[in-house]
Amino acid sequence: MKQTETEIKELKSLLAQMWSLAEQQVRKSFEAVTAFDKDLAREIISREKNVNAQELVVDHHCENFIARFSPVAVDLRFVLSLLKINNNLERIGDFAESIAQFVAHHQTKAIPAELLKQLQLRRMFDTVLKMMEETRTALAREDSRLASRVLGLDDAVDAIHREAVPVLAAWITAHPDQTAETMGIHNVVRRVERMGDRLSNIAEDVVFYVDAKELRHTAYTEATKEEKS
């Protein structure tokens, strides 16, 4: 096996560890806020440093790879994509910690079942987790078509976020004594929406790595149309 192949395998392993850390934080943040679990929220906050540390490890190995091998073509696209994916995963971890901070320090009671249903918060969480799973699979399989489909899932997350705003406004009108906490719930919804944005970035990075095709700042309708045909 070539030295570059050995190093690429190591990079993939390190990124997989980063991905697992970030995904655990996301899953636990969803559980903490929906179950009103302050102990779990504090656990998430304490483990954020592990995500940050792993980001530095992955970055360091990527930089060493570039310095040692001066990669070109697909190898260069691979390492550049990993650097961006790594950063996006770290930001997703930050959003999970932000949700945990709300639960630990500002949430005073469980989100009412009626409001939880109207916000479609569980559906939003489930969609983001599906995006995480599919982007990870797309990278492992070098499957740009699967990565492109993730972009469509982000549309669903964005739609839920837009629909949440009037729902929360109506809730504040009906329950003015809960205004501060309701605004905190809006911040939770916003953080989940931002997770979706970051996962879209990762999906675009997978497409760039596999197909040498840049999707940022461009429409992806043709990619999604092809999937539906």
Contact 14, 58 (CB under 8 A): yes
* Cα–Cα distance for residue pair 44/40, rounded to 1 Å: 6
- What local confidence, expressed as pLDDT, does residue 215 receive? 76
* Cα–Cα distance for residue pair 119/168, rounded to 1 Å: 8
Domain segments of the chain as ranges: 3-228
pTM of the model: 0.92
CA-closest candidate to residue 56, choices 99, 94, 15? 15
Give per-residue pLDDT as tens, 13-72. 999 999 999 999 999 999 999 999 999 999 999 999 999 999 999 999 999 999 999 999
Give per-residue pLDDT as tens, 146-184. 999 999 999 999 999 999 999 999 999 999 999 999 999
Which DSSP category does 142 fall into?
T
* Cα–Cα distance for residue pair 50/53, rounded to 1 Å: 5
Fold of 3-228: Methane Monooxygenase Hydroxylase; Chain G, domain 1 (1.20.58)
* Cα–Cα distance for residue pair 162/133, rounded to 1 Å: 24
CA distances from 181 to 24, 56, 169, 188 (A): 25, 35, 12, 11
Give per-residue pLDDT as tens, 66-101. 999 999 999 999 999 999 999 999 999 999 999 999
Structure tokens at 86: 């790594």
